[in-house]
Structure 1
Amino acid sequence: MKLNRQKILDFFKKSQSRANVILGDKTKAANTIKDALGKAVTNKGELEGVWSKLVMLFAISKDYVNGDYTEIPKGSIVAILGGLIYFLSPIDVVPDFVPVLGFIDDIFILNLVYKQVLKDLEKYKTWKDSQIKIMGNVDGSPA
């Protein structure tokens, strides 16, 4: 089965448009992230190759929607949420219920998004690590 890369990218653009709208409603955005996380956990075995990247995308999107971390360009957070929306859709270019191949397009998009926002994720990781150190000092444990 040959994947139609352009069809996948077109579907992803639609997901990004939806993400742009959903970001205007923090509750919808939070629920979208929560739903995508639930789907990811349920299908963790099939997502093993992108699991650590996916965890990072969930973390930054949750911290953004909660207002804890807003130092990310709007285009990057739209791409991340668009990737999660694409992942969440059961009927995308390759429907998720198709054995073995069901998540191949999702993995392609998640890898694409990850590469696209890598510099933003590195800044986020630095920020997140500093927050953990600060919290360590607050509770009396060593930083």
Structure 2
Amino acid sequence: MMAKAARAAAAWKTYREVTKPGTPGVLSRVRAIPRMIGAVMRGQYDGMGKGKLALLALGVVYIVSPIDVIPDFLVLVGVADDFGVFLWLIASLLGESGRYVDWEHKVIAGQVES
């Protein structure tokens, strides 16, 4: 029950961050994800480390993998763990990509060294 509340709170926090006036919109954040990954891999963007990028990649692998920590045949629990990872992944990607878009705009404006 507590984990469910924590996931709901994280989703709500992400929604508020994404819809806040003056912040990058959802589409802008989604389009920035490949650029962000490339910039992290090249060492150009210090806002996210390669360790966090690896955790996000593991989240994607976990979701698409047919092997689960908690099997899906345990209907409620098995699906809930996948959904929890999915919520964490989306919240993390949208949050990180929003910060990346802000950083990108500052680099273009010449306020930050790339």
TM-score, length of structure 2 as denominator length: 0.40
TM-score, length of structure 1 as denominator length: 0.34
The structure with higher relative contact order (CA 8 Å, sep 6+) is 2
